[in-house]
Structure 1
Amino acid sequence: MLVILAWLTMLLVTLVYAVFYSPDKHDSDIYQQFNVEYIDDTSNVLTIDQVKLLPSTVFEQDKQKVHTPDSMDFSMWYKISTVSNLGYLEPFSVSVDNPTLDIIHFYAINDGQVRFEKVLGDLNTSEYAIDHVSPKVSLFGGMSGATDIFIRIKSNGSTATPVLIESVTDSQYRTSAQLILLGALFGIGMIMVIYNYFMYRGAGDPSCLIYIGYISSVTLAISMMNGFIFFWLPEAMAIQANANLLMPMHFLTLGFAMRFAYTFVRIEDIYPKLKLWGQQFSNINFTFAFIALFYNEGTIFPLYMIILSVNYLYIFVLVSLVYKSKLIWVHYYLMSWVPLLAGTYLTVSSFNGTLSYNFLTRNGSLLGVIFEICLMAVALLDRFRATQVEREYRLNHDLATGLPNQVLLESAIKKVGAGRKPVYLMVFDIPQAKDLIPALGVESANLFFKQLFINIEAYVSTIKETYIFAKDSSGQKYHIVRIDESRFAVMFVGDLEAEELEQNVSAIQNAVSNIINLNGVTMSVSSVAGVACYPDDTREPERLLSTTIQALISGRKSNKKWARFDEQRNIDIQQRFRLAADLQNAIEQGDLELYHQPQIDMVNNKVYGSELLLRWFHPQEGFVDPSLVIDIAEETGVIHQLTEWVIEKGFEQHSKLCKLELRANVSINISGKDFNDNGLVAHILTTAARYNISHETVTFEVTESATADDPEQAKSVLTQLYNQGFKIAIDDFGTGYSSLDYLSQLPFHELKIDRCFMNIDVSERNRTITEVTLSLAKRLGVNAVAEGIENERVAELLTSFGCPIGQGYLYSKPKPFIEHMRWLQDIYKSNRNLELNKPPVG
């Protein structure tokens, strides 16, 4: 920006010259000493020998009428003579102040003879590059009254051509000022290219790249129009560029300007269709930039003016739509059009005679582009700042509710933790939150949560110890952090008694449960909470949030629906996490075992089959309770992998028994979490096919409570297995929470009576429940399996009730596969029909 300021300082100096030392061309003292006449010979080209013989009456007076060609492709002659017969004996310069002309031919005629000749113009070579910026001849010895200067001008596509007569010193000043302007444009343009490139690298905003295209094309176009291109390109290349690329660069500049306009103001956020129109217009400009390569300037220029008008109309509509925006960078963008349009008007008006010609009006468009680029630099910088603010806001806030988020929470914990006061963090979880979004829709759910947090804010803002996480521009304070869609947090700084702490938690939970009216429907939700304190519960502020989450997990199981962090409970949780990691490795390494507990046909006294039971002997912890293994697997998401391992290993062992003619049924337990595994049924079918397992010899056991989490999904999976010929057993029947009506909708072959009812030898109540359950199973046409049979009296009672299948320690404890296989082989050897003379005791 300092470099741009330096350039602007130079521009101000140049403008001072332009205003105070560059009068109208007709007002200069030297100009008054000469007669300037012209004749248009576009339709009848004249030679120097012809034009020097023409009488003055055929020429137009330049002081009375500015030459405005009727055609873009024109040819004309200027004749310059002194007013006095004595001539003008001081040094002076004659300039043709239009560097876009193709041919400029100077002649000095004395006594009818050509005494001096100089050829300039875009299509001619010159020893000095400055001749292309300011085409002129300087007569240091003045000019006699008998000498006339003729200037032949021929071009395609240029505007009117001012001829300047001034002192050599003034001419040099004007040329220097012209170079300063062009150098300023080129320098600022290159700086802005670099500036926008790094802006793009920093912000990733595509409008920066588009603006680079605009700056490059407009700088190149103006450099070509003003002859500055000869300073930084070889002359041959510069001549070719002027001859073929001027109009293509105009279309290219217009295309980039259009694309930048709708991209920069982000019009798609207001009117998406307007962006599509802008894309079409810019594509049309780019297309004509290519087409213009094959046509001369005069032919394509009228079409350019039409397209320019359409593009300006689009820009006008765009500006009118964003005019009322409160964004500062939008205002800078709109302001940048003012110098551009004003400068273009000045230049065009000065060339066609509407305004008097001077240095300022002649370079109006150039100055307008420079100031437009500078203003746009400020706009880009402000938008970059606004983008960074917006990005920081998005990083630190929940977009749905505007509340601070977890990033801001962790930053606040770190900041407050550096102090000496205790910090209490409360994290609340709303169990129903995840169901609200699909049930209400995103928009309605967001409205619900906004009202919910307003209710909570109304309470917590009254407690002086409540921490303020953020303030907005209107002074609104935020005491709540939304961690995710179901969790939010509140923080208190200072000492709190246990009673105060409990009151605060209870009050916030009451605020959560307040009834909310949404679109005429009243709703209410509940919450569970966890509380932790720094430094009492953790010595590291960074661990306060995770410590509070651990308390929240405990709060879910608490009758109070909240819990304070407990170190011993945390140790247990950490042990569970360690076991979870070890369980993952045990599954992958095959360090788990399957035990078989026989199931007995109590009617025929035969082996009916066996239930597969998981066993894990941890290297350090020893035997791990199977229920704990399942809990850990379900909590950590390993349950799918564990179930697949059990099915794989169980089918492998079942296959071996079948090959040994030890055919029996095998029962495999399925977790309720397995119903969410879309590949479960496919895995069962492919594994059964690989081991050549008969589907009717496999029973899948599922508990009542497992089916209650997602009844429809459970029903779908069980129905698929049922239809494939597998047997389904309802495990632990009578201990779950499913209704008989729901169970009646599930396909199943067996009811397994839980072991808690197997004290029927001493409990009349359980004896009645068992008898009724067996009668129910018989009426439903399904088998019943009694678990936990431990003495002969219970077995006798079950037999009398008509129980078909039993299992328990009376018959056998669970055995490793090899021992179970030998047990079966021993029975097979003693009696080929596998009849049991008496219940075997394992």
Structure 2
Amino acid sequence: MWFITVKLFIIFLLVGCFSVEAVQGSYTIERFADASNQLSIDAVIDRKGHFSSIDTKTKFNKGETVWVKISNGAEDKQLVAITSPIEGHVKMYRVVAGSVVDYMIASPNIGYTSIEQSILPHQLLRDGGRQAEVYIQVHAKYNGMLSLSVMSENEYREVLSQRLFILGASSGVHYFIAFFVLLMALGQSRKGLGSLAAYFVCISVQSGVYNGANSLLFPNDLVGYFATFHSQIFLLSLIFAILFLYHFMVEKRADGQHTKLVSASIWFIAALAVLIAPLNAQNSLVFHVLASLICCVLYAIVLKSQYAEHKDEVLVLILTWLPIFTLKASIFVNQFGIYIPVDESLLSHLLITLHVVMLACYLYWHDKNKKRRLMFYATHDKDTGAPNRYMLQQSLEALDKGTKPHTLLLFRPLVLQTIRLNMGWNYANAHLKKLLAKVGAQLDTYGNVVIAEDLKSHSSIYRLDDSLFAVVLIGKFELSQVEQFVCILSASFEEGIDFGGDLLVDQLEIGVASNPIHASSADSLIQCAMQAMAAKPVGTNKWQLFDFGNSIVSQRRIKIASALKVAIERGQLSLYLQPQLHLKSGRVYGAEALLRWHHPEMGVIPPSEFIPIAESSGIIYELTEWVIESGLKQQSELVKLLPSHTLSLNISGRDVGRKELTVQLIELINHYELTPSQIVLEVTESATVENETMLFDSLTDYRSVGIKVAIDDFGTGYSSLAYLSQLGFDKLKVDKRFVMDLESSKTNQTICKATCDMAHSLGSIVVAEGVESEGSYRQLQSFDCDIGQGYFISRPLPFEDYKVWLQRMTDVEDVIHYLTS
């Protein structure tokens, strides 16, 4: 399409520009240069001897007045026409017998009186039946060439008709394209198209000033206005050209530095447009050249920066600007006396028309490519170019329709997030793209992998999200085949990534599911593979095959997560209280509140199952708030039975640093008028290690209120003595695995005694959980353990049963005897 457009316009240009030639005949053309620029027409007529003979073309210099006289001796040559555009003052006089009988101003600075004179200025060589001479006065702003043609009226009509056709057709093309682009800009709300439409209008008006095409479309007053401000219109066209570049190639692609260059260029050219008004006659060409150079330099900088990534678009855009560059170059070389033997007005208009048409073609090509890219990125990942989840779905559905057995292999590189954090997103994408290409080549070598739109033996790695990828294996499911593919993937990803001389070794999570063994539809197959990937591989396996048992567990987790929120709202949860005793005195110390959930359909669900689900699903915060509110409400009733009663509440590690928790505790303690020191918050040892900084700040907040904090399940984590000393916990709860077989295990006896001694030296109270026998009870007494709880003392009790137990225990004197009886 580009070649056809260029060829047609070149032929059109050659035919039009070289068709107007002066016909040699019995006429004379003479030239006289007025160095003083002050001679009148009468004075020039009197100086006939100062004229020198010339042909139909004569040069003129900037600021110099040139007089040209045309005399005709033939009857058939009745007029002389100016065929070249001149910016300056041009007057044509008709002289008979030494007297001026008619004159006209043929200058582009004002509107013309008729369309004929605007398109092809002329003056008659006869006045009635008498012979006449024509004098032409030229006082131009720049160096140039005056081209004349002496012809008959019929010849003039033919040339005028040709010009009218060319200018009318090309002007129609200009404004039609501008109008169409403007409609697109308004319909699509695209500023770039609006800038391009405005640019088309400006250069069309600018061109029409010199070749008279404006008189075909606009009234005389408007034509004169355009002629007066044509320099400003030219500079305005450059501003719109820069805005077009900005919206198409800078706004969403280049960095901020280019945006600043665009802004500076626009403001500079706008300033030139303001300054050019008072200096129009003398310096407009200088301003035009300066503004054009700025525009060209800006285009060069931007296009060079975009060349590597958008090579085709840059080359096409350069091609569209070649006609304008050629036109401006021809005007520039004219100033050095180098002239091209063509009709300059038609040449400029046809080059501008070619430029407009090529820009319109570029716009079509750009939008088509944009649509093609959008369609591509609708089915492919933008960063790597890999087919996306939609393409995977299409591929699997195509295989389903063809009843072809296939296996889906999902994998997730674990080190990808580390690369992004340490090396940046772009580096990670570049590395990933290179790695996927390498893996794809290896899979091609091994074969038997398929892409949705091409059922040949070609590998494709699908990208489902930022870190999840998929490969489809065609054929019946075989463990050996899967193992070989896993080996290929693992070998490629586990080679490592260089990071400052260190090697980051990657690992993969891989899940496998097969159709029709595990699923019969595309959605189900993807779901099964993801469930398999989420499960832990067994033994030394690097991958996990889908297991229906894991699926049942996963479905139960989902059901529990959805039911847990309803359980909080509908009161299905309850707190059971497990009593705690002072081991030495046997007096009741308090109780630990334990959360219980009895679901109407699933039955009793243990905390060990629903607490991790609550943490992963984000419901843990609501759950903790419910536990604290219910627990403190019960404590307000228990202190009426036992004023020294202490209540211990378990909180999740995720709640440790929540400021809202502290606020809630303060509000409830004040509401129920409780003593803060009789409230103990128990946090697991692993949670304290994971949130050291956060926990230290939280402990300070709790201590300022008066609330106690205990480490739960002590001995199962990795905390050090220095760490415990720094944080200063009020209580240490020895995990029940060290207490339950205390009588028979020398190791556990040593651990418990050492823990008691250490805690007391740190100023903490020791609580032993899992006291199951009288022997364990007495053994802990001998270790000076402070508090005990367990089935030997009491099972966890519902609130009402606990109140009965508490009332009974306040009257007991020999606790051991009571518990063993």
Amino acid at match of 1:329: E
Q: Find the partner of 1:235 among 210, 214, 220.
A: 220
Aligned to 1:541: 522
Tell me the SS of whatever aligns to 2:476.
Answer: coil
Could you tell me which of 127, 130, 134 is aligned with 2:120? 134
CA drift of 1:424 comes to: 0.8
Secondary structure of the structure 2 residue equivalent to 1:646? helix
Q: What residue is the counterpart of 1:365 in the other structure? A: 348
Q: 1:59 to 1:630 in 2, by over 3 A?
A: same
Contact 1:252–1:289, Cα closer than 8 Å, also in 2: yes
Q: What is the identity, as a one-letter code, of the residue corresponding to 1:110?
A: V
Q: Residue 603 of structure 1 aligns to a residue in which SS?
A: coil
Task: Give 1:802's aligned amino acid.
Answer: D
2:37 is aligned with 1:43:
yes
CA deviation vs aligned residue, 1:459-495 (integer Å, no higher than 9, x gap): 5444322335899xxx997543454554433321111
Shift of 1:630: 0.8
Q: Does residue 1:726 correspond to 2:707, yes or no? A: yes
496, 521, 528: which one aligns with 2:509: 528
Output the amino acid matched with 1:242. A
Q: Distance in 2 between matches of 1:272 and 1:662?
A: 70
Q: 1:408, 1:469 within 8 Å by CA — same for their partners in 2?
A: yes
* Structure 1 residue 55 corresponds to structure 2 residue 47: yes
Separation (CA, whole Å) in 2 of partners of 1:11 and 1:184: 16
Farther off after superposition, 574-583 or 114-123: 114-123
Given the alignment, which residue of 171, 175, 199 partners 1:186?
A: 171
Residue 27 (structure 2) aligned to one of 19, 29, 33 = 33
Does 1:253 pair with 2:237?
Answer: yes
Residues 1:95 and 2:81 are matched in the alignment: yes
Tell me, yes or no, if structure 1 residue 781 matches structure 2 residue 781. no
Q: Percent identity?
A: 26
Whether the 8 Å contact between 1:161 and 1:351 is mirrored in structure 2 is no
Higher mean Cα deviation, 163-172 or 656-665? 656-665
In structure 2, the partner of 1:16 is: 15
User: AA paired with 1:364?
Assistant: L
Q: Does 1:308 align with 2:307?
A: no
Tell me which residue corresponds to 2:781: 799
How far 1:548 sits from its partner (Å)?
0.9
Against the structure 1 CA distance between its residues 434 and 274, is the aligned structure 2 distance closer, same or farther, given a 3 Å change threshold? closer
TM-score by length of 2: 0.83
User: What is the deviation of 1:358?
Assistant: 3.5
Distance in 1 (CA, whole Å) between partners of 2:392 and 2:239 is: 46
Q: Tell me which of 65, 71, 75 is aligned to 1:81.
A: 71
Tell whether the 8 Å contact from 2:195 to 2:243 is kept in structure 1 after alignment: yes
Number of residue pairs the alignment of both structures matches:
818
1:555 is paired with a residue whose SS is coil
Equivalent-residue separation in structure 1 for 2:670 and 2:78 (angstroms): 106
Give the superposition deviation at 1:301: 3.7
Tell me what 2:565 maps to: 584
Q: Do the aligned partners of residues 175 and 814 (structure 1) sit closer, same or farther apart at CA in structure 2, a change above 3 Å counting?
A: farther
Select the residue among 331, 349, 373 that pairs with 2:315: 331
Q: Aligned to 1:646, which of 627, 635, 649?
A: 627
In 1, Cα distance between equivalents of 2:430 and 2:107: 70
Of stretches 549-558 and 420-429 in structure 1, the one that deviates more from structure 2 is: 549-558
Aligned partners of 2:384 and 2:723: how far apart in 1? 40
1:703-753 Cα offsets, whole Å, 9 max, x none, are: 233345555555665565456643222212234465667656554222223
Question: Hey, what's the Cα distance between the residues in 1 that align with 2:415 and 2:110?
Answer: 82
1:132-162: CA deviations, max 9, x gaps? 23333467x8875642234566777796543
Which segments of 5 or more consecutive residues in structure 2 lack a partner in the other structure?
A: none
Q: How does 1:385-400 map to 2 (within 5 A)?
A: 387=370
AA of the residue aligned to 2:199: Y
Distance in 2 (alpha carbons) for counterparts of 1:100 and 1:587: 89
Partner Cα separation in structure 1 for residue 671 and residue 158 of structure 2: 96
Other structure's SS at 2:627 match: helix
* Alpha carbons of structure 1 residues 230 and 480: separation in structure 2 relative to 1, 3 Å: same
Note closer, same or farther for the CA distance 1:683–1:546 as it changes in structure 2 (3 Å cut). Answer: farther
**3-state SS in 2 of match to 1:70:** coil
Deviation, structure 1 residue 455: 7.2
SS in 2 for 1:237: helix
- What pairs with 1:362-511 in structure 2 (closer than 5 Å)? 362-384=345-367, 387=370, 404-439=387-422, 460-467=443-450, 479-484=460-465, 486-502=467-483, 504-505=485-486, 508-509=489-490
Deviation string 1:203-234 (CA, Å, 9 cap, x unpaired) is 99865554344333222322233332333333
User: How big is each residue's C-alpha offset from its partner over 1:359-387, in whole Å with a ceiling of 9 and x where there is no partner?
Assistant: 2x443332222223333444444444555
What CA distance in whole angstroms lies between the structure 2 residues aligned with 1:413 and 1:100?
A: 71
Moved more, 277-286 or 787-796: 787-796
Measured in 1, the distance between the counterparts of 2:557 and 2:610 equals: 9
Distance 1:254 1:234 in 2: 25
CA offsets 1:475-531 (integer angstroms, 9 cap, x no match) = 997543454554433321111223443454466446544466655434434333211
The answer on whether the counterparts of 1:121 and 1:132 sit within 8 Å (CA) in structure 2 is no
Aligned amino acid, residue 16 of structure 1: V
Paired AA for residue 18 in structure 1: C
> CA 1:120–1:64 in 2, change beyond 3 Å: closer, same or farther?
closer
Contact 2:211 2:345 in 1 (8 A): no
Tell me how far apart the structure 2 counterparts of residues 424 and 303 of structure 1 sit (CA, whole Å): 70
Deviation at 1:551, TM superposition (A): 1.3
TM-score by length of 1: 0.81
Distance in 1, matches of 2:763 and 2:249, equals 73
1:216 is aligned to 201
**Stretch deviating more after TM superposition (382-391 or 170-179):** 382-391
Q: Which residue of 2 aligns with 1:572?
A: 553
> CA contact under 8 A between 2:411 and 2:508: conserved in structure 1?
yes
What is the CA distance between 1:112 and its match in structure 2? 5.3
Which residue is equivalent to 1:618? 599
Which residue is equivalent to 2:578?
A: 597
Aligned residues: CA RMSD: 4.7
Whether the 8 Å CA contact 1:90–1:142 is kept in 2: the answer is no
Cα distance between partner residues in 2 of 1:621 and 1:321? 65
CA distance in 1, matches of 2:154, 2:272: 44
Q: What is the deviation of 1:261?
A: 5.2
Deviates more, 1:488-497 or 1:722-731: 722-731
Q: CA deviation at 1:284?
A: 0.5
Q: Which amino acid aligns with 1:57?
A: G
> What displacement does 1:422 show?
1.5
Per-residue CA deviation, residues 655-708 of structure 1 (Å, 9 max, x unaligned), is 666689845333222223335767655665676677666543332212233345
CA contact 1:404–1:478 (8 Å) conserved in 2 = no
The aligned residue for residue 58 of structure 2 is 66
After superposition, the Cα gap between the structure-2 partners of 1:271 and 1:574, relative to the gap in structure 1 and judged at 3 Å, is: closer
